[in-house]
């Protein structure tokens, strides 16, 4: 059996900062609490025999993957564009109230509940779903770790016919891939101890 962990990068905003919509167009680093979340993830996965470790090309994902690689003794195998964050278009860098003022609460709810992107966002949902399905269909046994973002992670669930769900910073979802290509979500949105 193969285990696939989908890991969201750590915090990119300090607790005193108002969060903003940050997507593929803004390559920001982790803040101190994000590094602490990455360390907690590294502790959680330490000693795991990793078959594959992939990350989004964005700095925040690579900074989250680096301590995991060190703790497991498995170097990052590469960065994949399909694990990259979505493009929020005109809402990039905007606070949530500004995004809602532009697109409306209903459009944001359609994104959160059904992964229907608001006008101006660039997502390419069919390509993302196809990439997740192709990854899950791959053969082999062992543990795969994929470090990504919330916008990309939701498509792992959608690829399996499940509704999208938020993945918090420093949290992971786990999938079991059986030899006969059955994939099931074992758990979602789990933070290791000390990753708050």
Query: What average pLDDT score do residues 139-158 get?
Result: 95
pLDDT in tens, 41-56: 999 999 999 999 999 9
Residue linked to tokens 């109230």: 97
pLDDT in tens, 102-135: 999 999 999 999 999 999 999 999 999 999 999 9
**How large a percentage of the chain has pLDDT more than 90?**
90
What is the separation, in whole angstroms, between the first and last Cα of the chain?
A: 30
Rounded CA separation 170/38 (Å)? 7
Cβ 144 vs Cβ 167: under 8 Å: no
Q: At 175, give phi and psi (nearest 5°).
A: -120, 145
């Amino acid at each position: 059996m193969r285990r696939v962990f989908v890991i969201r990068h750590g915090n990119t905003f300090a607790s005193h900062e108002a969060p903003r919509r940050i997507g593929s167009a803004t390559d920001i680093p982790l803040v101190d609490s994000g590094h602490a979340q990455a360390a907690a993830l590294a502790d959680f996965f330490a000693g795991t025999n990793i078959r594959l470790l992939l990350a989004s090309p964005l700095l925040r994902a690579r900074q989250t993957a680096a301590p995991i690689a060190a703790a497991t003794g498995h170097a990052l195998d590469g960065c994949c564009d399909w694990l990259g964050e979505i493009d929020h278009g005109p809402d990039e860098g905007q606070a949530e109230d500004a995004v809602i003022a532009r697109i409306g609460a209903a459009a944001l709810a359609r994104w959160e509940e059904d992964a229907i992107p608001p006008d101006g966002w660039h997502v390419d949902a069919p390509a993302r779903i196809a990439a997740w399905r192709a990854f899950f269909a791959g053969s082999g046994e062992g543990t795969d770790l994929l470090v990504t973002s919330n916008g990309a992670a939701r498509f792992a669930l959608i690829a399996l016919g499940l509704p999208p769900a938020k993945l918090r910073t420093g949290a992971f979802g786990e999938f079991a891939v059986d030899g006969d290509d059955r994939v099931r979500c074992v758990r979602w949105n789990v933070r290791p101890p000390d990753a708050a």
